Amino acid sequence: MENLFLEQNGGNVSRDIEIEDNRKRIIDTLSKRKESSGIELNYDINALTPYLRPEQLPFSSLSGAVSIDGEDFDLEVSKKGADFDIKIIDPSGKKHKVNRVEEDNMIGGIWKCEFRCGSYESSDHWAISVAAEYQGAGVADLLYALKTSVNEQPKFEHVNEGDMRFLIFYIKKGYYPCSIILPNGNEEVVSDQHIEELKERMKSSKEQKSEINRTPFALRLSLDPSRAEELYQQIK
């Protein structure tokens, strides 16, 4: 199944241009959201490039690089093998409950990790985690834009089939559902009917701000900016 999707989506020059345009759009969107979201990057994102390249700096820390509703936070970047982690740190040392990791003073982070669903595994996945009290402030968008500014987006991303919040997030980032991963690790192409069902569930989730409804299934999303934008317009 992986090879099938790679053959369908790879090696297309116009598609490569579209994906590069998508990365630029993600970065541009960050600056346009500042006033409305309450989050602000206190550095020009292009000026941060040297701090975000792990081959140049194995670790870097910038004090007061991020402001959220007038409160300053530090930005930390650390090398992790061939990849790197980006974290937003509370300099006061205040404890924050962040899932996936045990770091008291971190309010958000993005890093490369493995995704698993049953016997299915993928090593090309960006995990994003934000403390509960800062969700909705634009932290995840900022982290993703920083990572995207120096990294090519993964060809595929993955979400739990019941996690409408992250599904909407990745659709906004240019991903489109391409397959459903079954509990035994096998994949099936997402049907048109399932896409219609997902649309209704995403709309309902946005209206009701519902919690995550975990399922034993996962979705694999292909980086396909045109189709993703079309889908997002239908659920806005």
pLDDT at residue 61, as a whole number: 87
pLDDT at residue 12, as a whole number: 65
The distance in angstroms from the start CA to the end CA of the chain is: 31
Cα–Cα–Cα angle for 184, 185, 189, nearest 5°? 110
DSSP string, 66-126: EEETTEEEEEEEEEETTEEEEEEE-TT------TTS--TTEEEEEEEEEEEETTEEEEEEE
Give the span between the Cα atoms of 169 and 190, in whole angstroms. Answer: 19
pLDDT at residue 179, as a whole number: 96
pLDDT at residue 4, as a whole number: 43
How do the pLDDT tens digits run along the chain, 236 residues long? 444 454 444 456 688 888 899 999 998 887 666 555 678 888 888 888 888 876 667 788 899 999 998 899 999 998 877 788 999 999 998 888 777 665 678 999 999 988 988 888 888 899 999 998 898 888 999 999 999 988 889 999 999 999 999 999 999 999 999 999 998 989 999 999 999 999 999 998 877 765 667 788 999 999 999 999 999 999 98
161-178 as b/e, with b when 16 or more CB fall inside 10 Å? Answer: bbbbbbbbbbbbbbbbbb
Instruction: State the pTM of this model.
Output: 0.87
β-partners of residue 41 are: 66
Is residue 52 a contact partner of residue 84, using CB atoms and an 8 Å limit?
A: yes
Domain chopping of the chain, boundaries: 2-235
Is residue 141 a contact partner of residue 68, using CB atoms and an 8 Å limit?
A: no
pLDDT at residue 3, as a whole number: 40
pLDDT at residue 182, as a whole number: 93
pLDDT at residue 1, as a whole number: 41
